[in-house]
Amino acid sequence: MTDQVIEARELRKSFKGQPALAGLNLEVPAGSIFGFLGRNGAGKTTTIRTLMGLLKPDGGDACVFGLPAGDLTAGIEIRRRTGFVMEDKELYPYMTVEQILRFTRSFFPAWRTDLEKKYLKLFDLSSSRKIPDLSKGMRSKLMLLLAISHGAELLILDEPTEGLDPVGVEDLLRELVSISAAEGSTIFFSSHQLEEVEQIADRICIIDHGAAVVTGSLDDLKTRYRRLRIVLREEIPSPIQWGMGVERLRQHGRMVEVLVSDNFDTILKQAQSLPGSSVECFPVNLKEIFLEYVRSN
């Protein structure tokens, strides 16, 4: 049995000749909190819809729980084990909170009434309220409650914090970590909010133009990536030949900035050996890694 809850190999999808996914490779380990990052139009929602069986890929394959995502029969089993919160967070406008709970509960024999009650109270959702009367943030919370309460092994969340106020965001992020720890659920979420991803994710993938540009453990990435700022005594007439491990290089006059992902000690020694240079080393946060990759891609 695979340890990867989600696997995608060379996933391709185009809409009217425009590629949305261009050979995406993705692996999401069981029990992880996986952040899926990208610009608008990078392919995040297309990936999620493909995993949920709403779109059929033009090439490659995608599996959830080892089951083919595009298969109609396997899709039912996938959805039985997956909680899904879509980006637009729309529910049936003719139902109340109580009605949608009753409706959704009927599809999941393993429904967790304890979690339902807990999150109704925590999210301050009144059972008698009609869904159209809920704010967008409250609908987000209700959708998350529906996803969590059916005992899902995997939560796929598309922009889960959109519409939430800062307190709501903090509550939600805390609960996602708690769910992952207590229930062992895998959480796969897409977001633009890099600070939020950095706060809770243990693995990330940055997608750009339909392909993964960076994937790995967040701690490893932040340890591996460092920035060197080198100020030279005078401009060097010819470009510096750096060793392996330099991801990005910017040179403005006498100042050189180097983003290093590997072989840091060697690069540092090389920087320090440059004539009259002063070298400063900075840690790199997720936002900087993200911006470096998507801007230059």
Partner 1 sequence: MLWYKNWLETRFRIVFMLLFAMFPIALHTLTPLPGGSAHQGSAVEMRGAVGFFALYYSIIPLALAGSGIKTQSPFRATKGLHGSMYFTLSLPVSRFQLLAARVSVGMLETILVLAILPCAIWTIFPPLRNYVTGSDLLKYWLTVSICAFALHFLGVLLSTVLDDLWQNWTSIFGVFFLRWILSRAPLPESANIFRAMGESSPLFTHSLPWTTMGFSLAVAAVLFLISMRVVERREY
> Which positions touch partner 1 (CB under 8 A)?
49, 52, 54-56, 72-73, 76-77, 79-80, 82, 84, 86, 88-95, 99, 102-104, 106-108, 132, 143
17 vs 275, beta carbon nearer partner 1 = 17
| Residue 32 Cβ vs partner 1, minimum distance, rounded to whole Å | 21
99 vs 215, beta carbon nearer partner 1 = 99
129 vs 227, beta carbon nearer partner 1 = 129
| Residue 109 Cβ vs partner 1, minimum distance, rounded to whole Å | 10
156 vs 164, beta carbon nearer partner 1 = 156
Q: How many CB atoms lie within 10 A of CB 216?
A: 12
Task: State how beta strands 59-64 and 4-15 pair.
Answer: antiparallel
Q: Which one-letter amino acid corresponds to residue 237? A: P
| Residue 177 Cβ vs partner 1, minimum distance, rounded to whole Å | 23
Q: Are 142 and 97 in contact (CB under 8 A)?
A: yes
Q: Are 206 and 53 in contact (CB under 8 A)?
A: no
| Residue 146 Cβ vs partner 1, minimum distance, rounded to whole Å | 8
Burial label, 183 (beta-carbon count in 10 A; 0-12, 13-18, 19+): middle
| Residue 294 Cβ vs partner 1, minimum distance, rounded to whole Å | 27
| Residue 204 Cβ vs partner 1, minimum distance, rounded to whole Å | 24
| Residue 280 Cβ vs partner 1, minimum distance, rounded to whole Å | 48
Q: Is the dihedral of CA 182, 172, 104, 80 positive or negative?
A: negative
100 vs 230, beta carbon nearer partner 1 = 100
187 vs 256, beta carbon nearer partner 1 = 187
- Token representation of residue 264: 């840091």
| Residue 239 Cβ vs partner 1, minimum distance, rounded to whole Å | 48
Q: Which one-letter amino acid corresponds to residue 222? A: K
43 vs 290, beta carbon nearer partner 1 = 43
Q: Of 40, 77, 258, 53, which Cα lies nearest the Cα of 152?
A: 77
DSSP, res 132: G
Query: Half-sphere exposure of residue 57, counting CA atoms within 13 Å on the CB side?
Result: 26
Buried b (16+ CB within 10 A) or exposed e, 254-278: eebebbbbeebeebbebbeebeebe
67 vs 236, beta carbon nearer partner 1 = 67
Beta-sheet strand order (sheet of 4-15)? 18-29, 4-15, 59-64, 67-68
